[in-house]
């Protein structure tokens, strides 16, 4: 059980909003814990919309892990690091992180259940055991997985406090000559609920730092570092400034001549989480891991460099 003293500066906040922000857990997960009686305020259960007054004591008790609805599957994992608390995995493009409608199997969670057995945190809920953060199906690269609830809680706090960093590499349409920062709030699109968008309505702050690495005709290889971790953040932010990611079939420009020339056959965006930095939740040691670009990305870059040299 975790005890959380409520300071006066948090007076007026909704209980579910406060806990989602302070613990780095989704609001829906907090609301489920509230409904099931695993969260109390001064020893009493409260509704999700309870307004904090300051001075209370909140007790959070994460229930034991229940059997997952997903089945273990013997799927090969590219594990860069593993200990009793966590794993660092290089996820290939095309792999879904957790089971959902349309993807009931073949996911990272299915593979983790086979590899780790019962040794995964349960804070993410039965559909997402061990999942601290995630990357899109067609984004490749590094993912951090928690093997117990203590590690999961600590890592979630690091993410909330920007003490957790993932560096991405992407190929963006157009020419980006100088480093820039995109500071635009992101929320659910009012036009298409399956998409995210830059909006002021029911949005959360989002900041992406973009640095050009190489410039090609019609394309720029960029480094992206996030201050926040919103759904589809890099894809939405780059598209919002007129530089969508090559191959992005959701936020891209399918009729763009460069997209038509180089995006065919890519099956999704050219986006790779190549470096991850965090503090180990048990030892306090600074951890840094990196992985190379996938083969398809390197092959495309070689093609672009060859064409540039021949101009």
Task: Give residue-wise pLDDT tens across range 50-61.
Answer: 999 999 999 988
* pTM, to two decimals: 0.78
β-bridge pairing 140-146 and 271-279: parallel
CB hemisphere CA count around 5 (13 angstroms): 3
CA separation for the pair 267, 243 (Å, rounded): 18
Closest-CA residue to 228 (of 246, 248, 203, 249):
203
Per-residue confidence band for 101, with pLDDT thresholds at 50, 70 and 90:
low
Mark whether 176 and 232 lie in a shared domain.
yes
Same domain? 305 vs 207 = yes
Same domain? For 21 and 139 the reply is no
Report whether 57 contacts 47 (CB < 8 A). Answer: no
Q: Do 266 and 175 share a domain, yes or no?
A: yes
Which residues form the domain of 200? 166-275+294-309
Residue 310: CB atoms within 10 Å: 6
My answer on whether 104 and 133 are in the same domain is yes
Helix segments in the chain, DSSP class H: 15-23, 27-35, 108-116, 149-160, 233-240, 257-262, 295-309
What backbone torsions phi and psi does residue 300 show, to the nearest 5 degrees?
Answer: -65, -40
Number of structural domains found in the chain: 3
pLDDT of amino acid 67: 47
Q: Cα–Cα distance between 127 and 135 in angstroms, integer?
A: 16
Query: 69 lies in a domain?
Result: no
| Residue 126 placed within a domain | yes
- Classify residue 174: in a domain, yes or no: yes
Query: pLDDT grade, residue 311 (50/70/90)?
Result: low
Mean pLDDT of the chain: 90
231 & 188 share domain = yes
Same domain assignment for residues 109 and 23: no
pLDDT (tens digit, 9 = 90+) per residue, 124-144? 665 578 888 889 999 999 999
Whether the pLDDT of residue 66 is over 50: the answer is no
230 and 265 co-located in one domain: yes
The residue from 136, 161, 249, 256 that is catalytic is 136
301 plus 172 within the same structural domain: yes
What CATH number did the domain enclosing 96 receive? 3.30.2350.10
**Looking at the structure, do residues 195 and 145 belong to the same domain, yes or no?**
no
Q: Does residue 183 share a domain with residue 51?
A: no
Residues 93 and 215 in one domain: no
Task: Report the candidate in 65, 143, 154, 148 with the shortest Cα–Cα distance to residue 111.
Answer: 143
Q: Which residue among 138, 160, 182 closes a domain?
A: 160
Q: Is 295 a catalytic residue?
A: no
The answer to the question of residue 154 being in a domain is yes
Asked if the model's pLDDT at residue 68 lies above 50, the reply is no
User: Quick one: tokens of 71?
Assistant: 């089945």
Highest mean pLDDT among 11-25, 61-75, 232-246: 232-246
Residue 289, domain member (yes or no): no
Whether residue 281 lies inside any domain: the answer is: no
- Residue 20's CATH number: 3.10.290.10
């Amino acid at each position: 059980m975790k005890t959380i003293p409520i300071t006066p500066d948090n007076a007026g906040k909704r209980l579910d909003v406060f806990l989602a922000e302070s613990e780095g857990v989704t609001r829906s997960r907090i609301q489920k814990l509230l409904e099931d009686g695993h969260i109390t305020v001064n020893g009493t259960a409260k509704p999700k919309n309870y307004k904090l007054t300051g001075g209370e004591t909140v007790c959070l008790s994460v229930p034991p892990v229940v059997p997952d609805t997903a089945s273990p599957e013997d799927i090969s994992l590219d594990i860069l690091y593993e200990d009793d608390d966590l794993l660092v995995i290089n996820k290939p493009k095309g792999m879904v992180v957790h089971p959902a409608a349309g993807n009931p199997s073949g996911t990272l969670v299915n593979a983790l259940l086979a590899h780790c057995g019962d040794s995964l945190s349960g804070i993410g809920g039965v559909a997402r055991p061990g999942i601290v953060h995630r990357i899109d199906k067609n984004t490749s690269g590094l993912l951090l997985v928690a093997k117990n609830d203590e590690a999961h809680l600590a890592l979630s706090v690091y993410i909330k406090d920007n003490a957790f960093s993932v560096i991405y590499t992407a190929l963006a349409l157009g020419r980006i000559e100088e480093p820039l920062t995109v500071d635009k709030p992101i929320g659910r699109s009012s036009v298409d609920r399956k998409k995210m968008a830059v909006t002021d309505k029911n949005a959360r702050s989002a900041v992406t730092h973009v640095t050009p690495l190489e410039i090609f005709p019609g394309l720029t290889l960029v480094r992206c570092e996030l201050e926040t971790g919103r759904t589809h953040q890099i894809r939405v932010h780059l598209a919002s400034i007129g530089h969508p990611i090559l191959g992005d079939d959701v936020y891209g420009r399918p009729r763009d001549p460069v997209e038509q020339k180089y995006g065919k056959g890519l099956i999704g965006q050219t986006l790779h989480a190549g470096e991850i930095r965090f503090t180990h939740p048990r030892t306090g040691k600074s951890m840094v891991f990196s992985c190379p670009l996938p083969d398809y990305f390197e092959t495309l870059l070689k093609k672009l460099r060859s064409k540039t040299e021949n101009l």
